[in-house]
């Protein structure tokens, strides 16, 4: 089975800007210094301590804040000692409080103080009926604080990540999680299930490949009802690598005659159209240019590289001119992040590193240096890249914050990541 796969989506260009309010808050340092605290009433609650840690992690990942680490506790319904906070150079003070409703729901209350202005600027409550979903309450609070500064959006933190996790030989499961892998829920189990792909922007359904039928089968499953349906089957392999903007068509890699090619499948009419006919390997297609063109991986140069083809036309266009084994990529506007295999380099044998290039210039930027870095995926705003890192036998979910030259790794405690989407 050919295991070269491309996850690739095209989006509009992104302009990074900082609002004037951000400049006002940044009165004493390059970034606002924020103290995240829990109320004296909830000081010993372990769940709220986890929420606090996640919020600090979120704000650090955002690139828009510096975290003040010393402990500072205040009663939730009393105004904090703003003068003392100001003397410590703190710009923002966040106080968290935990309550349980009569129905067993967890309620996290937050108050955000602008220390320089001596006022409370935010006060909200967040509720969940499932305690294990507390990471999403933390992410929502972080997003709200970020919005107060009118800083570039970090709404992607509240999105679900879906991934395949290898357990043992020919056994894998599909899992949903938050981006830190703190919350996890198995949604498909039993046998070999790989290559999950969200079927819609609302994240209500997803596609995945099952190797538990007579033939490899592409399935679509509703996340909430768990209702599943077979979409199509094929000899050799079948993988869904992209979904059109209106969720009406998908791109498949299929090998009915042991020759992998790119197909576009109409979900309504249930009709497949073959896009590539090269006598070699064409895999992992993705829509670009308003679903009129497909980017894919091919061995037309006798090694894997990235090409584009307009649907209905014969010619192909080479997109990447660096590296000799480029098997995966993700696109945003005129930028491409791709995985390149680098054998016997200074960082170890058979490393896979990620590179960022522009289709409009010779610009190239290396994003990773060690380990196997694969399955890159742009965020919806183009400001971040999600990827899988394998290092010293362990799997990590990686986040690269492109405009901040920062990367963060979140370890998978059990199993190995096979593929990922968000």
Q: How far is CA 95 from CA 48, 108, 158, 298, 343, in A?
A: 11, 10, 21, 53, 50
Per the prediction, the chain carries an average pLDDT of 88
Please tell me the least confidently modeled range out of 355-359, 367-371, 409-413: 355-359
* Model-wide pTM > 0.75: yes
Q: Quickly state the pLDDT bin for 4 (edges 50, 70, 90).
A: very low
List Cα–Cα distances, 194 to 172, 312, 343, 357, 417, in angstroms.
7, 30, 27, 29, 10
Q: Is the model's pLDDT at 16 over the cut of 50?
A: no
Tell me the per-residue pLDDT of 381-405, one tens digit each, with 9 for 90 and over: 889 999 999 988 899 999 999 999 8
Mean pLDDT across 144-161: 95
**pLDDT tens across 31-78, in order?**
999 999 999 999 889 999 999 999 999 999 999 999 998 888 899 999
Q: Nearest-CA neighbor of 297 among 372, 369, 376?
A: 376
CB atoms < 10 A from the CB of 203, how many?
16
Superfamily of domain 155-421: TolB, C-terminal domain (2.120.10.30)
Mean pLDDT value of segment 130-153: 96
Looking at residue 23, what is its pLDDT?
A: 37
Report the top-level CATH class of 20-148: alpha beta
pLDDT for the residue numbered 28: 40
pLDDT tens-digit profile of 159-203?
Answer: 999 999 998 888 999 999 999 999 999 999 999 999 999 999 999
Q: How far apart are CA 357 and CA 336, in angstroms?
A: 5
Please name the residues in contact with 99: beta carbons below 8 A apart, sequence gap of 6 or more: 106, 107, 109
Q: What pLDDT sits at residue 291?
A: 86
- Decide if pLDDT at 361 tops 90: no
pLDDT at 349: 61
Quick check: 95 and 141 in contact, CB under 8 A? Answer: no
Residue 21 is predicted with a pLDDT of: 35
pLDDT tens for each residue of 296-351: 999 999 999 999 999 989 899 998 888 889 988 888 877 889 999 887 554 456 78
% of residues, the chain, pLDDT over 70 = 91
Please report, for the chain, how many H helices and E strands are present, in that order. Answer: 4, 29
Q: Does the pLDDT value for residue 10 go beyond 50?
A: no
pLDDT at 206: 98
| Average pLDDT estimate for 12-16 | 25
Separation CA 280–CA 259 (nearest Å): 7
User: Which residue spans of the chain are classified as CATH 3.40.50.10070?
Assistant: 20-148
CA angle 7, 11, 13 (to 5 degrees): 135
pLDDT digits (tens, 9 = 90+) for 263-311: 999 999 999 999 999 989 999 998 888 888 899 999 999 999 999 999 9
pLDDT for 344 equals 55
DSSP code for 70:
S
Q: Concatenated DSSP letters for 150-205?
A: TPSP-GGGGSPEEEEEEEETTEEEEEEE-TTSSSEEEEE-SS-EEEEEESSTT-SE
In which residue ranges of the chain is CATH 2.120.10.30 found? 155-421
Q: What is the pLDDT of residues 238-268, one digit of tens each?
A: 999 999 988 899 999 999 888 899 999 999 9
CB 174 within 8 A of CB 197: no
């Amino acid at each position: 089975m050919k295991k070269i796969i491309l996850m690739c989506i095209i989006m509009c260009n992104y302009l990074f800007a900082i609002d004037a309010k951000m400049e006002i808050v940044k009165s004493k340092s390059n970034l606002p210094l924020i103290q995240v605290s829990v109320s004296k009433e909830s000081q010993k609650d372990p769940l709220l301590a986890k929420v606090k840690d996640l919020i600090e992690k979120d704000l650090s990942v955002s690139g828009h804040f510096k975290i003040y680490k010393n402990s500072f506790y205040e009663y939730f319904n009393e105004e904090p000692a703003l003068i003392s906070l100001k003397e410590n150079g703190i710009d923002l003070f966040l106080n968290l409080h935990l309550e349980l409703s009569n129905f067993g729901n967890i309620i996290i209350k937050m108050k955000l103080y602008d220390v320089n202005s001596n006022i409370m600027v935010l006060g909200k409550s967040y509720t969940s009926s499932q305690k294990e979903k507390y990471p999403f309450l933390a992410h929502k609070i972080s997003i709200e604080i970020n919005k107060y500064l009118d800083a570039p959006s970090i709404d992607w933190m509240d999105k679900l990540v879906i991934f395949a996790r290898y357990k043992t030989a020919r056994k894998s499961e599909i899992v949903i999680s938050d981006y830190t892998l703190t919350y996890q829920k198995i949604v498909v189990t039993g046998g070999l299930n790989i290559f999950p792909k969200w079927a819609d922007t609302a994240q209500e359904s997803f596609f995945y490949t099952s190797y538990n039928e007579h033939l490899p089968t592409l399935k679509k499953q509703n996340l909430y009802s768990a209702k599943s349906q077979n979409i199509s089957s094929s000899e050799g392999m079948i993988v869904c690598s992209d979904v059109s903007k209106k969720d009406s068509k998908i791109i498949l890699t299929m090998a009915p005659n042991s020759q992998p090619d790119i197909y576009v499948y109409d979900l309504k009419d249930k009709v497949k159209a073959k896009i590539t006919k090269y006598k070699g390997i064409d895999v992992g297609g993705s829509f670009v240019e308003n679903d009129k063109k497909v980017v894919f991986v091919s061995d037309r140069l006798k090694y894997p590289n990235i090409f584009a083809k307009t649907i209905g036309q014969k010619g192909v266009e080479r997109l990447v001119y660096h590296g000799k084994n480029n098997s995966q990529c993700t696109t945003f506007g005129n930028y491409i992040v791709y995985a390149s295999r680098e054998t016997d380099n200074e960082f170890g044998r058979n490393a896979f590193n990620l590179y960022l290039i522009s289709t409009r210039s010779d610009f190239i930027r290396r994003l990773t240096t060690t380990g196997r870095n694969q399955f890159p995926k742009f965020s919806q705003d183009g400001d971040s890249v999600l990827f899988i890192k394998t290092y010293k036998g362990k799997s990590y979910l990686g986040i690269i914050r492109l405009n901040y030259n920062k990367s963060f790794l979140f370890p998978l405690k059990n199993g190995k990541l096979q593929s990922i989407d968000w």
